[in-house]
Structure 1
Amino acid sequence: MRARLPAVPARPHRDDVLIAAAGLLGGLLLWVLGLHGRPPVPGLPAWLTLVALAAISGAELLRRTAPLTGLAVAVAALALDTCTGTLIATVVMFTDLVYAAVLYGGPRTARRIPQCAVLVTVVTTVVLLAVRRDPEMLMFGIVIGVLTATPAWTGLIIRNHRDAAQAARLRAEQTALLAEMDRTQAVAGERARMARELHDMVANHLSAIAIHATAAQTIDDPGATRQALGVIRENSVQGLAEMRRLIGLLRDTGTAGGADEPAAVPTLDGLEALLGQARTNGAGSGLTFTLDDARHADGTGPRTALPAPVELAAYRIVQESLTNALKHAEPGEVAVRIEQTQDGPLGIAVISPFGDRSGPRAPGSGAGLVGMRERTTLLGGTFEAGPAPGPDGTVWQVRAQLPATEEETPS
């Protein structure tokens, strides 16, 4: 296997280059002016101070890209500088490299360097006091703490604030993303709900208009034509009224005219009127419509008060089933049955004659079955639709079970 090549260090940051250059120039100026801390250790040339200055200036170039390497070089350079005269520029750059190692190093490094700095300060102070027994050694220990522990803990505090700010920014971005996703889902859900309502409210009337308009065009009978035109007018007026009602729901009624009256929601009590309208629209098609409301017909108790979403979904399912029967069903009986036992689900069944027609009486988009299934799924119920064998031949049946548990109300 080929050995992994060492990673090429990144280029120094521009600010680090400026810091290194300023430290080097400042140290050279102090050297030229003769501002040394003290004479070097006997036997060591004074120019070694410049070597320490150059080394620690080079370490400043690594303060972001390789902070631990820079700190190791700085420790060696500070030791050499202490033995050869001590330039203040070298000491200042050492404290900066301690600070940078905590701020830009790894998480483990950021935790250990401050602890090690405190340990070195305490141990050095205790050893000096034990050896020299001079109170001035306590001041020397304080100086060591200022050079090591202070920049280390300062870097740790700033790093914690930086990490907290980054975490807060990340949480804010995640919150904004989730809010945008919720908004998108809400808009999509509202558009789907509006599409279902618009289809269920208007498709019935438009189907009746299309059926009777076709009849008026094909039957050469003034009486039948007048009857068809009457049905067309009635469905046009009703469709326009329901469209206005739907538009009113979409508008902010509180600012439109100061009226905040709730809009009427269709309920199962309106099924008789709905079937009456279907009988009118289906006149001449050979279809008859019957309603069997068998809720609690077994004497298990009074009718339960159904939640408004359940009543609306049941009403729309029956309405769309009747519309489909007007479009596609063969002449015969269209039976609607509503049933529910005590604390049980609401059952809906619409059965109509099924035959092989060359085409529907009125064009359709196929969205009706999709809308009925969506309404049932949103309430956690079950839905099925399709041909099935019947006593007099094949029938088309629509069956739905809607969960409807509510407290009993007096009948």
Structure 2
Amino acid sequence: MKWIVFGAGAAFVAGVVLIAGGAYVDRGVPGWVLVVPLAITCVGVLVRQRAPLLSLGLGVVAVTVDGFVGPSLGTVLVFTDNLYAAVLYGPARFARVLLGVTATLAVVGGAVAGFIAEDWRVLAIMGVQAGLVLVTPVTTALVLREQRDRAAAERLRAEQVAHLAELDRQAAIAAERTRMARELHDMIANHFSAIAIQSTAALSRKDLDPGTVRKVMESVRENSVKGMAEMRSMIGLLRQEGEEPEATRPRLADAETLVERVRRAGLDAGLRVDGEPREVPASVDLAGYRILQEALTNALKHGDPPVDVVISYEARCVVVTVQNAVGGDVAAPLPGAGVGLIGMRERASLVGGSLEAGPRGRTGEGRGRWRVLAVLPTSEDGFTVAYYADGGRARQGEEQAVVDVRPGGV
């Protein structure tokens, strides 16, 4: 604001100096009269940013009055600033209209002056002068306004890009937190479930001999140590950077270790491997291991023996099947958080596979069965695999459950 007041004052002083120096057309009026339109245009300079159209209106009134009593060079020069401010700070549509108006006035004014003077040289001189006074400030302001609007658009675009980058960063953080939570749940739940069941059994039985108690405590200690070891392994994987050696990761080849751990926790479990075991993609290997681990954890917490585990290495997929008996009316010995099945489905989906989990008929003793069937593709192309309701491969013409496996979806 201070600079605007200073500019208006300087323009007024300069205009007065020009009037005093005779820079006006003498029409027999006192010199102080020429100062009035000059002062009006300078008032327009004061409001050029807050009210650009008012500034132009004051300039038009002043230059019209100055044309009758002068005109004077100072008033005309300050009027160019009124035009410039109206285009730069006024509405965009008005700025385009003003360009056409000033161009028309410049041409018409030069033509009228040449017609009155009956001299084409006067037409040329007046046309150039009118163009300099009217068109030049308008076009200059239009160019500057376009650059300013372009810079504002670029700033807005940069802010939007930064906002999108921040959203991507937050999404990546949320996804990483979800992955870590899933890893922690799948890794620790198995060990802690075994510890909880064994310790509960030891505390509830008063007739256990010292040898049995010692075996239970040894199993509890083993699960505790292995849980801590897997926790360290995962922390090492999270800390891994660059080309450092890969941290130890669980594999489907370690399924026997998981099954043996369940046996030691007191649940009868068996493992069968069909097909020729082979190297599979790391993501599929880890997903299969974690799904098997969570399925065994659920069987340990909620199921009854026996537990049957089958790992089938097919041509283009690995099939993991876990079945166990469940009591009809017996409440689960341990509460569940409800995230185990969700986590298993997410793991299967992330590698382009599918997972089915639910009750499957009844045994001869009237108890139900629970089955987890995970189909994890090891090739890039999609395919369809058909299985019996009990998990075996179906043959043509027999009742079957069809599982469609495609990369990136279920």
TM-score, reference length from structure 1: 0.78
SS state at 1:334 partner: strand
Partner of 1:199: 185
- Residue 262 of structure 2 corresponds to residue 289 of structure 1: no
> 1 CA distance for matches of 2:362 and 2:118?
111
Answering whether residue 380 of structure 2 is matched by residue 406 of structure 1, we say yes
**Equivalent residues of 2:259, 2:269 under 8 A apart:** no
Q: 2:198 aligned with 1:237, yes or no?
A: no
Aligned residue number for residue 326 of structure 2: 354
**3-state SS of 1:291 partner:** strand
Question: For residue 320 of structure 1, what is the amino acid of its counterpart?
Answer: E
Q: 1:81 aligns with which of 46, 60, 66?
A: 66
Instruction: Please provide the CA RMSD for this pair.
Output: 3.3
Q: Secondary structure in 1 aligned to 2:323?
A: strand
Residue type at the aligned position of 1:328: H
- Structure 2: which 5+ residue stretches go unaligned? 382-410
Q: 1:92 to 1:314 in 2, by over 3 A?
A: same
Q: Distance in 2 between matches of 1:238 and 1:261?
A: 22
- Separation (CA, whole Å) in 2 of partners of 1:89 and 1:310: 83
Given the superposition, is the C-alpha separation of residues 304 and 96 from structure 1 closer, same or farther in structure 2, using an over 3 Å criterion? farther
Provide the identity percentage: 43
Q: Is the partner of 1:263 in helix, strand or coil?
A: coil
Q: 164, 167, 185: which is aligned to 1:178?
A: 164
Tell me the CA shift for residue 91 of structure 1: 1.5
> Cα–Cα, structure 1 residues 120 and 402, in superposed 2: closer, same or farther, change >3 Å?
farther
Relative to 1, partners in 2 of residues 1:229 and 1:48: Cα closer, same or farther, differing over 3 Å?
same
Instruction: Name the amino acid aligned to 1:106.
Output: P
Among 261, 280, 287, the alignment partner of 1:313 is: 287
1:226, distance to aligned residue in structure 2 (A)? 2.2
Residue 277, structure 1, aligned to residue 261, structure 2? yes
Say whether the 8 Å CA contact 1:340–1:346 is kept in structure 2. yes
Q: Distance in 2 between matches of 1:306 and 1:123?
A: 85
Aligned positions, number: 376
| 1:94 and 2:66 matched | no
SS at match of 1:396: strand
Q: Is the deviation greater in 203-212 or in 192-201?
A: 203-212
- Superposed, which structure 2 residues align to 1:6-405 within 5 Å? 16=4, 19-24=7-12, 26-27=14-15, 33=20, 35-40=22-27, 48-126=33-111, 128-129=113-114, 132-219=118-205, 220-252=208-240, 260-282=244-266, 285=267, 287-291=268-272, 293=274, 306-330=280-304, 332-338=305-311, 347-355=319-327, 356-360=329-333, 362=334, 364-379=336-351, 381-392=353-364, 393-405=367-379
After superposition, the Cα gap between the structure-2 partners of 1:73 and 1:165, relative to the gap in structure 1 and judged at 3 Å, is same
- DSSP 3-state at the match of 1:266: coil
With a CA cutoff of 8 Å and minimum separation of 6, indicate the structure with the bigger relative contact order. 1
| AA partner of residue 336 (structure 1) | V
2:199–2:220 contact (8 Å) kept in structure 1: yes
Q: What are the Cα deviations for residues 8-30 of structure 1, in whole angstroms up to 9, with x where unaligned?
A: xxxxx665555445544554565
Shift of 1:118: 3.5
CA distance in 2, matches of 1:113, 1:303: 82
Partner of 1:262, secondary structure, is: coil
- Counterpart-to-counterpart distance in 1, 2:312 and 2:126: 94
CA contact (8 A) 1:288 1:334 kept: yes
8 Å Cα contact 1:23-1:90 kept in structure 2: no
Deviation, structure 1 residue 209? 2.1
Paired residue secondary structure (2:24): coil
Asked if the contact 2:303–2:332 (Cα under 8 Å) also holds between the matched residues in 1, the reply is: no
Kindly tell me: are residues 357 and 61 of structure 1, through their superposed partners in 2, closer, same or farther at Cα, counting changes over 3 Å?
Answer: same
C-alpha distance in 1, partners of 2:376/2:9? 79
Instruction: Find the residue that maps to 1:406 and give its secondary structure.
Output: coil
SS of alignment partner, residue 271 of structure 1 = helix
Task: Measure, in 2, the Cα distance between the counterparts of 1:18 and 1:309.
Answer: 71
What amino acid sits opposite 1:262 in the alignment? E
Opposite residue 289 of structure 1, the aligned amino acid is G
> Counterpart of 1:351 in 2: which secondary structure?
strand
3-state DSSP of counterpart to 2:64: helix
- Range with bigger deviation, 178-187 or 382-391: 382-391
Cα deviation for residue 248 of structure 1 reads 0.8
Deviation at 1:139, TM superposition (A): 3.1
Structure 2: distance between partners of 1:245 and 1:381: 26
Q: Secondary structure at the match of 2:151?
A: helix
What is the Cα deviation at residue 200 of structure 1? 1.4
Residues 63 and 79, structure 2, Cα contact 8 Å, conserved in 1: yes
1:321-358 C-alpha deviation (Å, 9 max, x unpaired): 1011111212x222234457655x65543222112334
Is contact 1:304-1:406 (8 Å) kept?
A: no
Tell me if the contact between 2:112 and 2:123 (Cα under 8 Å) persists in the aligned partners.
no
Relative to structure 1, is the Cα distance of residues 125 and 306 closer, same or farther in structure 2, using a 3 angstrom cutoff?
Answer: farther
CA contact (8 A) 1:307 1:406 kept: no
